[in-house]
Amino acid sequence: MCAKKKIAVLTGAGVSAESGLSTYRDNNGLWDNYDPMEVASIEGWFRNRAKVLDFYNGQREKLRNVQPNDAHRTIARLDDNFDVCVITQNVDNLHERAGSGRVIHLHGEVTKVRPETGVYDESYSEREVLDIGYEKVVLGDKAPNGSQLRPHIVFFGEAVPKIERAIEVVSGADIVLIVGTSLQVYPAAGLYRYARNDAKIYIIDPAEVPVNESRVIHIRENATCGMKKFLSIVNKE
């Protein structure tokens, strides 16, 4: 029996756009309406914890009210015939809710919190991470160890602890599929460069994406339509 082909799927906010969640950098995206340095950076956290908590309370509430779309579902269906690992920059849980089996959240998860350490080195142990679903967190809400709870989000200015695992996945893949990311934020944006020389790279995005590789096949569509096209291509291979 042949081993299943390995697909590394790197997703960004564009995969959740058709579910009704805003992207960050498109017109009227989240960063047009909020300053990321205030609501999503480690400096912003230390300056005004209440503001950061409030921003993520809002994101959690939005997530409660949306559903996975056909792009999430098609990505989940790839599990039937391929050995798939989704590496997402998204902090939503729509890949899991669509049924994807392996999901690495590079930038954290909005439905989770953990105790802050109160210093710039915000390293943590997975055991401290708490799943709060769609609940609100306010200043004064404490972890079992007595520390203020903070969002389980990789803030700007913090390290990306899961990047090593993501590099391993991409460098072992036969196919790298990139869906709905502007590739503006490192180290995630550089991950595709770890693809093997013989790996195929596909991008699904309606806009131009800054990838300088002649082998890239760009499917210029929204995620739902693009994923249908990708599925028919990959099933013929």
Q: Which residues carry out catalysis? A: 107
Report residue 58 as tokens.
């809002």
Task: For the CB of residue 41, give the shortest distance to ligand OAD in the complex, in Å.
Answer: 9
Position 107 contacts ligand OAD (CB under 6 A):
yes
For ligand OAD (CB under 6 A), the number of binding residues is: 26
Position 206 contacts ligand OAD (CB under 6 A):
yes
Nearest-angstrom CA–CA distance, 177 and 192? 9
The beta-carbon contacts of 191-198 under 8 Å, at least 24 apart in sequence, are 191/10, 191/87, 191/163, 191/166, 191/167, 192/10, 194/167, 194/170, 195/8, 195/170, 195/171, 196/171, 196/172
Position 36 contacts ligand OAD (CB under 6 A):
yes
Report residue 157 as tokens.
């200015």
Stretch that binds ligand OAD, among 73-81, 117-125, 141-149, 203-211 (CB under 6 A): 203-211
Enumerate residues 112-171 that contact ligand OAD by CB under 6 A.
Answer: 154
Nearest-angstrom CA–CA distance, 76 and 101? 7
Task: For the CB of residue 36, give the shortest distance to ligand OAD in the complex, in Å.
Answer: 6
Check residue 10 and report its DSSP letter: E
Enumerate residues 41-100 that contact ligand OAD by CB under 6 A.
Answer: 89
Stretch that binds ligand OAD, among 58-66, 144-152, 175-183, 194-202 (CB under 6 A): 175-183
Beta partners for 11? 88, 179
The residue ranges that bind ligand OAD (CB under 6 A) are 12-14, 17-18, 23-26, 29, 36, 40, 89, 107, 154, 180-182, 184-185, 205-207, 209, 222-223
